[in-house]
Amino acid sequence: MNNKDDLVIRVAGESGDGSTATGEMLAQAAARSGLQVFTFRTTPAEIRGGPVMFQVRASNAPVRSQGDAVDVLFAFNQEAWDLHHADLVAPGVLLYDPENVTPPEHFSGIAYPVPIGRIAQQAGSRRGKNVVALAVAAALFGLGRSKLEDVVRARLGKKAALLEANLAALHAGMAYAQGLAKLDPLWLEASSEHERLVLTGNQAIVAGALHAGVRFFAGYPITPASDIMEGMAAILPEIGGAFLQAEDEIASAMACVGASFGGAKSMTATSGPGLALMSEAIGYASMTELPLVVVDAQRGGPSTGLPTKMEQSDLNLALYGGHGDSPRIVLAPGSVAECFHLTVWGFNLAETYQSPVIILSDYSLSFRTETVAPFDLAKYPVIDRQTPAAPLQPGRYQRYYVNGSYVSPMALPGMTSGQYTATGLEHDAFGHPDYSSARHVEMSEKRWRKLEPLRHSHDYVRRFGAERARVGLLCWGTTAGPCRGALFLAAQQGLPLALLQVQMLAPLPVDAIRAFVESVELVLVPELNYQGQFARLVQAELGIRVASFTQYTGMPFTRHAILHRVHELLGIDAPVEAPGSAVARA
């Protein structure tokens, strides 16, 4: 039997039929056994019905994208076969429920019939289809099969009767798999045990915010950000913080403004439609110099758009949303680990610079699970805002005193003689309204120049790949994953490629980007929106030309799509492996 160190299993079916649960438990079991996992899912925007799929990619090596092609398809219904068989590698392995699926006669791969409903029924677990499917998949392909009971206990162990039925289903599934003749060579098991965390992007954002000291959260339900709100609702009251489910996104953002004025580290989380509503509040925080952290888990737009698909099309809104000259900081994590990292730093930057910070995540990152090494918390200092030294002289406190750093110590309610009024009107050092030209010049410069050090920072870019390369990929957000995969594939072909992942979009770290751009001949900017929003930003800020590569399918890039574009750019007629052919993997 071949050991294969990279396996992609896609479980597909209908919303509510257990297929997603199968995928989730498979990922958990694989991660518990020591494998690295990366999951990807699509769901319909409606609550009941509609096709769903949950994909697990597992390896002993780091995995950074969802995988281009599918090794194993587990089809719960006919539609699952119809929608997904084209993504199977040739010849491919199919598991299917013969009660619902009839594979075509010309199917050249290896097919295993698995009557999951009947096996579950016979085991006395009417609702145990998902557990049967889990058992069969793990028995056939490895993947944390020693951890199945742990996972089922953790997930379904709350009620003894339910657990017993599910364990029966699990054992029935294993017994069924033992009766199958193994015809395919696919097998993947962990080569060693590692200490790892398994969590989603949204969970990492909640954890990062808590580590950074968040003590106030206000939000309004919206896909795909709602479970950030739910996580905060559960934990904040336990640690003396406050949580508010507000009446809309405007109220959410302004409640955070109020709490931040009071000294609490405050956060809200939303998606594009909510961020649009928060524009005025973000401008207010910019004008009054109040720390505020806003997470935007992007989905497809415009308007209600594609609520359960991914896109990187809120960049312009994050950068420019709001009237007037309103500076802000915009960060973009590219992985689950970076969700933690950049949320901690999002708070630190908000506090340091007394500025709104927008964190641009996306739908795929919100929900995907990854295995990550435990965070080295010693590397995550927590920074609090600067406050004026007591005692303050009555009537003398200057909230917006202009000093060398352009950041003025901020008095908090409760501080004697720190009383001032924050206003959205242009104001003088005391915060008193002042519309004079001289004051508007002075204060505009204060608000912008305080962020200037970040433009020259090298802390918010990550460079990967070859030191010397003709083509450099320049990307942001989760596109970094398939870009890194493309680097690996290119290296296997003997083609050196370089990559710069930009984690801070505003202020744009121009020095670091310029150094990268000057180290390559051609710059390719892959991103998931129609306009090429990031490419335009880079061109405008650096005065250079880049090749824009956009995709607007609601789906992430594949590594091959990016590599193919690189080949085109270089005029190389290289063999391009599409899904359906044997592919090397990273």
Partner 1 sequence: MAAETIPLAAVVRTPADYRSELKPIWCPGCGDFAVLAAIQQALAALQVDPKDLAVVSGIGCSSRLPAFLNAYGLHTVHGRALPTATGLKLARPELTVLAVGGDGDFFSIGLGHLPHAVRRDVNLTCIVMDNEIYGLTKGQTSPTSPMGHVTKSTPHGNRAAPLHPLMIAIASGATFVARGFSGQPRQLAELIRDGIAHPGFSFIHAMSPCVTFNDTYKLYKEQVYSLPADHDPRDTQAAIRYALESERLPLGLIYHAPRAGQAAAPAPQPFDTTRYLERYRA
Task: Give me the least distance between CB of 207 and partner 1, in Å please.
Answer: 6
Which residues contribute to the site for partner 1 (CB under 8 A)? 28, 31-32, 34, 194-199, 203, 207, 210-211, 213, 215-216, 218, 235, 239-242, 244, 246-248, 250-252, 254-264, 266, 280-281, 284, 371, 374-375, 377, 395, 411, 413-425, 431-433
**CA separation for the pair 95, 80 (Å, rounded):** 11
CA distances from 490 to 5, 297, 483, 584, 585 (A): 19, 31, 10, 10, 11
Residue 434, burial from CB neighbour count under 10 angstroms (0-12, 13-18, 19+): middle
Residue 352 has φ and ψ, to the nearest 5°, of: -65, -45
* Cα 288 to Cα 276: distance, rounded to the nearest angstrom: 20
CA distance 236 to 213: 11
Instruction: Tell me how far, at minimum, the Cβ of 31 lies from partner 1, in Å.
Output: 4
Alpha-carbon distance of 46 to 463, in angstroms, equals 40
- Of 80 and 198, the one with the shorter C-beta distance to partner 1 is 198
Q: Of all helices (H) and strands (E), which one includes residue 96?
A: strand 88-96
Gap between the Cα atoms of 260 and 215, Å rounded = 10
Q: Give the residue with the Cβ less far from partner 1, 432 or 449.
A: 432
Question: What minimum distance in Å lies between the beta carbon of 10 and partner 1?
Answer: 22
Least Å from the CB of residue 396 to partner 1 = 10
- 432 Cβ partners below 8 Å, 6+ apart? none
Side-chain-side CA neighbours of 178 within 13 Å: the count stands at: 7
Q: What Rg value do the Cα atoms of the chain yield, rounded? A: 26
- 116-120 long-range Cβ contacts below 8 angstroms, 24+ apart: 116/76, 116/173, 119/169, 119/172, 119/173, 119/176, 120/169, 120/172
Taking the complex as a whole, how short is the minimal distance between the CB of residue 37 and partner 1, in angstroms? 9
* Tokens linked to 123: 């085991």
* H/E segment holding residue 111: strand 110-113
Residue placing its CB nearer to partner 1 in the complex, 258 or 302: 258
CB of 266 to partner 1, least distance (A): 7
User: 507 near 452, Cβ under 8 Å?
Assistant: yes
The distance of closest approach from Cβ of residue 220 to partner 1 in the complex, given in angstroms and rounded to an integer, is 11
Residue 187: which residues within 8 A CB-CB, separation 6 or more?
A: 1, 2, 3, 4, 141, 142
Residue 27 or 495: the one with the smaller Cβ distance to partner 1 is: 27
Q: Closest approach of Cβ 256 to partner 1, in Å?
A: 6
Cβ proximity to partner 1: between 175 and 233 the closer is 233
Q: Which is nearer to partner 1, 117 or 418 (CB)?
A: 418
Query: What tokens appear for 349 in the block?
Result: 């930057």
Handedness of CA 311, 197, 155, 72 (dihedral sign): positive
Query: Nearest distance from residue 420's CB to partner 1, in Å?
Result: 7
In the bound complex, what is the minimum distance in angstroms from residue 239's beta carbon to partner 1? 5
- In this structure, are residues 95 and 79 in contact, taking their beta carbons and an 8 Å threshold? no
Shortest CB 392 distance to partner 1, Å: 10
**For residues 356 and 507, which CB has a smaller minimum distance to partner 1 in the complex?**
356
> Which tokens hold the place of 384?
């609090």
**Alpha carbons 93 and 72: distance in angstroms, whole number:** 5
Q: Which is nearer to partner 1, 194 or 463 (CB)?
A: 194
What is the smallest separation between the CB atom of 8 and partner 1, expressed in angstroms? 19
